Chain A
Amino acid sequence: MLSVGGVQFYQDFINGKITDPNDPTLKKVLNAYAEYLNYVNSDHAAKTWDEACGLVYKGDAAMTIMGDWANGYFKAKGWKPNVDYGAIVLPSNVYDLVIDTFVLPAKAAHPDAAKKWLSFIGTVEAQNTFNPIKGSIPARDDAPLDPYGPIQKEFIKDLRSSSTKLVPSITHGSAVPPAFLSDLNDIISTFVTNRNVDETAKSIVNAVKQDLLPNKIKEWKLT
């Protein structure tokens, strides 16, 4: 959606503004996705992201589309970045953010220890200990680049570039309410097998009206 429709369309979509089932951009997005699906393995629905990376590792697949954490998978298998495998950002100039959170419950037994942990994970030290192993990149823009491999350095450069837009992830639940995400997951799983663009566009628009708009909590401004 970001590659084909661009950030403005993405913003309209997560704000619930795409309510016409004949929206040309929405259809273009679905058509592009259907085009991609011509290249997937037949048992794709039974595979998890790491099993998909496993196909690349074994040489059964040429590529996989995944977040930067896939780096960690290949590194753990002993592959060297830009020697045994490479990566490109898709689309460029946009960074789709996934947010993981730690929660401090109101009645936690050791709130001080929890607060210490929370302030620690935000430090450069913690970020640069964790990310090189996981394969992802640090959220802080003052983190030194030394512990990172060439692919991660490329990603960091992209993230810190002033022309890069940051957008919240739909799939991981940041951009849209859970009720809509649940609909969208079912709709897309159906689309993956029937590839019916018109019917899918209609279902998506229905879901926007039924589960996105009534549950909307904020208006996104990404551009």
Chain B
Amino acid sequence: MRLKFREESLYSLLFLTPAIVLVGVFIYFAIVWNVYISFTDWKGLIPSYRFVGLENYRILFHDPVFWTSFRNNIILIILFVPGSLLLGLLLAILLDRKIKFENGFRTIYALPFALSFVVTATLWAWMYDPSDGVLNTLFSMLHLEFLKSNWITDPHVALYAVILALIWQFSGYTMLIYLAGIRSVSSEQYEAAIIDGANQLQLYRYVVIPQLKKPTLSAFVVLMVFSLKAFDFIWVLTSGGPGTSTFILAVEMYKETFAKTKFAYGASIATVLLLLSFAIVLPYLYWSYGGEKE
């Protein structure tokens, strides 16, 4: 018995090694390395690892572009996360109403999430084109000229245009999560509520929605972490422009690191992002593991 156990753990160690090595080198070592780089003065194509302490962070906190990116990131989180959750919940409730062609609609709503960000961002860029884009053309045809806008080329509107497109893409994901949550509410509870005289609105308000805490929280964490690293979509749609109006931290990090080859400075932005991600993910981990113990 004892021997068998040792043999088993030997085998599991053997099979786990490649994964542990890869994750260790490419994720955890890379994180540590990044933090270390952020304390050096590496700039340009030839690495230099002279230790400069918190100098990069000092410059960073005095950099107006950093604060613009930070502010945009906060706006993105405040609008995008609840927006996606609410739209997903609404779609899930509508689909739950035993409508015709439910499968068809479910696929239609979930499809955007299955597409690559590069594809959807390119499509949105075409739709937002101020002269030939489908949105402005449509508004002209319907004589709704007041709705026309320069969209992603107007710095006052661009960030909101990006957020709208992101909500559209992620609503399919939250819809699926909520639909699964709603379907897991047992039919007895529906019946009991209806016998007690609850109308449809009350049914969702008091019976279904309170039971969606867990799916909401897991979707919330996914959306929060995504809004911190939403690089690809924004890069393809606006490249952070016009000017710095759609910069978020990930975009600034990329520009500083690869467009300006300020590697150490970019690494310090990455470290700030890492800390922000921790701030979001750690309470969630604590909550979900703590919840299991109860």
A190 close to B243 (CB less than 8 A): yes
Interface size on A, residues (CB 8 A): 22
**A187→B243 contact, CB < 8 A:** yes
Contact, CB under 8 Å: B261 / A178: yes
- Interface: A113 (CB within 8 A): no
Q: Measured between C-beta atoms, what is the minimum distance from A185 to chain B in Å? A: 9
A to B contact number (C-beta, < 8 Å): 56
> Contacts A189-B241, A193-B243 known; A178 to B260 CB distance under 8 Å?
yes
Q: When the two chains form their complex, are residues B244 and A43 in contact, meaning their CB atoms are under 8 A apart?
A: no
- CB-defined contacts of B241 to chain A, threshold 8 Å: 45, 186, 189
Asked if B130 and A46 sit within 8 Å, CB to CB, the answer is yes
A163 within 8 A of B: no
Interface residues of A in 152-191 (CB under 8 A from B): 178-179, 182-183, 186-187, 189-191
Interchain CA distance A194-B154 in the complex, whole Å: 10
Q: Does A129 contact B (CB under 8 A)?
A: no
- A177 to chain B: closest residue by CB: B260
Q: Are B131 and A43 in contact (CB under 8 A)?
A: yes
Instruction: Say how far B155's CB is from chain A's closest CB, in angstroms.
Output: 5
Q: Is the beta-carbon distance between B242 and A42 smaller than 8 angstroms?
A: no
What residues on B are CB-neighbors of A190 within 8 Å? 155, 242-245
A-contact bits for B126-139, CB 8 A (1 contact / 0 none): 00011100000000
Who on chain A is nearest to B241 by CB? Answer: A189
Nearest CB of A to B24, in Å: 33
Q: Do the beta carbons of A46 and B129 come within 8 Å of each other? A: yes
B153 on interface, CB distance cutoff 8 Å: yes
Contacts of A3 in B (CB 8 A): none
Contact of A45 among B59, B64, B150 (CB under 8 A): B150
A191: B residues at CB distance < 8 A: 243
Closest to A44 in B: B153
The verdict on B106 contacting chain A, using a C-beta distance below 8 Å, is no
Q: Across the interface, which residues of A come within 8 angstroms of B240, CB to CB?
A: 186
The answer on a CB contact under 8 Å between B150 and A43 is: yes
User: Do B130 and A43 have beta carbons less than 8 Å apart?
Assistant: yes
- For the complex formed, measure the closest distance between the CB of A51 and the CB atoms of chain B, giving whole angstroms: 8
**Distance A187 CA – B155 CA, assembled complex (angstroms):** 12
A46 and B131 contact, Cβ closer than 8 Å, known pairs A186-B241, A194-B155: yes
User: Are A179 and B260 in contact, CB atoms less than 8 angstroms apart?
Assistant: yes
Complex Cα distance A189/B158, Å?
Answer: 13
Q: Is the CB of B242 within 8 A of A189?
A: yes
B153 partner residues in chain A, CB cutoff 8 A: 43, 45-46
How far apart sit A215 and B43, CA to CA, in the bound complex (Å)? 9
Interface residues of A in 19-53 (CB under 8 A from B): 42-43, 45-47
**In the bound complex, what is the Cα–Cα distance between A178 and B241 (angstroms)?**
17
User: Which positions 124-168 of chain B face chain A at CB distance < 8 Å?
Assistant: 129-131, 150, 153-155
CA distance in complex: A214, B264 (Å)? 15
CA distance A194 to B262 in the complex (A): 28
Query: Does B283 touch A at the CB level, under 8 Å?
Result: no
Chain B stretch 215-267: residues in CB contact (< 8 A) with chain A: 240-245, 255, 259-262
Complex Cα distance, B241 from A214, in Å, reads: 25
Q: Establish whether residues B242 and A178, one from each chain, have CB atoms under 8 Å apart when the complex forms.
A: no
Confirm or deny: A126 has a beta carbon within 8 angstroms of a beta carbon on chain B: no
A192 interfacial by beta-carbon distance below 8 Å = yes
Top 10 A-B pairs, shortest CB-CB distance: A190-B243, A179-B260, A45-B153, A43-B130, A189-B243, A182-B259, A43-B131, A189-B242, A46-B153, A193-B155
Interface set of A (CB-CB < 8 Å, partner B): 42-43, 45-47, 178-179, 182-183, 186-187, 189-194, 203, 210-211, 214-215
Instruction: Identify the B interface with A (CB < 8 A).
Output: 43-44, 59, 64-65, 129-131, 150, 153-155, 240-245, 255, 259-262
7 other A-B residue contacts (CB within 8 Å) besides A187-B243, A190-B243, A190-B245: A45-B153, A46-B129, A178-B260, A179-B259, A186-B65, A186-B240, A189-B241
